[in-house]
């Protein structure tokens, strides 16, 4: 379907609005100010229904993202993802892997993450190895489906001092969970992440996050092996923290860990101990 989206993303809406339909033809880029988005190799034709739009993809699927502004930007990517069977999905930007996840349900799951985009085109690639599900009367290679893909300027763009710093979750975390306002991850006992300082000089920034525990427990926060915070938390409301950190040039590794074993809750197969909400980089205090 040939279409152009010219409207802005309003408030917390993650859907593309104002899309005019037309005759079937080759797709053209959709304008989502200030970025261009174009589904390219690997994706099937656009499908729509019930206020949503989606593409099915095969083994390797590319989306061309274009930053139309003259300076580098931090962008927030949002979409729903679906697979008809359990599979591993790898997501790359500019040839570098962003994350790998396991899709294990037949229900839509919300995804949201941030990327840094230099001016010009930045390919985003979704790649999976497991074969597609054979469906009666269907000849397409149906492996993964992306619905309501959107991209917008991140709040980080209001903080030039942290433009060249990237944060990435590593081992120890369960899958990201989202609602309209927040994102969070549970951990069993030890959750790792790293921050890359892409400049050649040390930076001091702050990490802002919320903490919640499954029961009374000690939680320690370490940076490059040095303890920055060790505190006992009790279950209840989110505790909001803001911790200054010094970032050497290159990769800086951080750990949240607790010495107590996690707990399994009724109806949940995971072993849980603590949860980190809205972990992000902000200016130092």
Give residue for tokens 């309501």: 148
Q: What is the pLDDT of residue 54?
A: 95
Q: Which 8-state DSSP code applies to residue 224?
A: T
Any alpha helices (H) in 101-170, and if so which ranges? none
18-47 residue pLDDT tens:
333 333 334 444 433 588 999 999 999 999
Beta-carbon contacts of 49 under 8 Å, excluding residues fewer than 6 positions away, are none
- 30-156 topology per CATH: Jelly Rolls (2.60.120)
- 160-283 topology per CATH: Jelly Rolls (2.60.120)
Q: What is the pLDDT of residue 156?
A: 58
132-162 residue pLDDT tens:
877 788 888 899 999 999 998 876 554 444 4
Any alpha helices (H) in 166-244, and if so which ranges? none
What is the reported pTM? 0.48
Q: What is the pLDDT of residue 161?
A: 42
For the chain, give every residue range classified as CATH 2.60.120. 30-156, 160-283
Work out the number of other CB atoms within 10 angstroms of the CB of residue 156.
20
Average pLDDT of the residues of the chain: 81
């Amino acid at each position: 379907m040939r279409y152009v989206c010219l409207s802005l993303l309003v408030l917390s809406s993650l859907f593309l609005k104002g899309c005019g339909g037309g005759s079937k033809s080759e797709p053209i880029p959709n304008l989502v100010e200030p970025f261009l988005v174009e589904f390219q190799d690997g994706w099937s034709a656009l499908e729509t229904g019930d206020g949503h739009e989606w593409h099915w993809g095969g083994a390797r699927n590319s989306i061309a993202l274009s930053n139309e502004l003259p300076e580098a930007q931090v962008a927030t990517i949002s979409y729903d993802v679906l697979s008809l069977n359990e599979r591993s999905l790898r997501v790359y930007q500019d040839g570098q892997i962003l994350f790998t996840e396991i899709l294990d349900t037949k229900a839509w799951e919300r995804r949201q993450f941030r990327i840094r985009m230099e001016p010009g085109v930045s390919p985003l690639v979704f790649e999976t190895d497991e074969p597609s599900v054979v469906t009666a009367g269907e000849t397409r290679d149906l492996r993964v489906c992306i619905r309501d893909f959107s991209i917008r300027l991140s709040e980080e763009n209001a903080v030039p001092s942290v433009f060249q710093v990237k944060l990435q979750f590593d081992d120890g975390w369960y899958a990201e969970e989202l609602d309209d306002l927040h994102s969070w991850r549970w951990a069993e006992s030890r959750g790792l992440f790293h921050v890359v300082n892409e400049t050649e000089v040390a930076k001091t920034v702050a990490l802002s996050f919320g903490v919640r525990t499954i029961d009374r427990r000690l939680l320690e926060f370490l940076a490059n092996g040095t303890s920055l915070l060790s505190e006992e938390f009790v279950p209840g409301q989110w505790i909001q923290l803001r911790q200054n950190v010094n970032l050497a040039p290159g990769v800086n590794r951080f750990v949240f860990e607790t010495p107590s074993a996690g707990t399994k809750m009724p109806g949940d197969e995971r072993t849980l101990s603590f949860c980190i909400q809205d972990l992000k980089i902000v200016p130092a205090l």
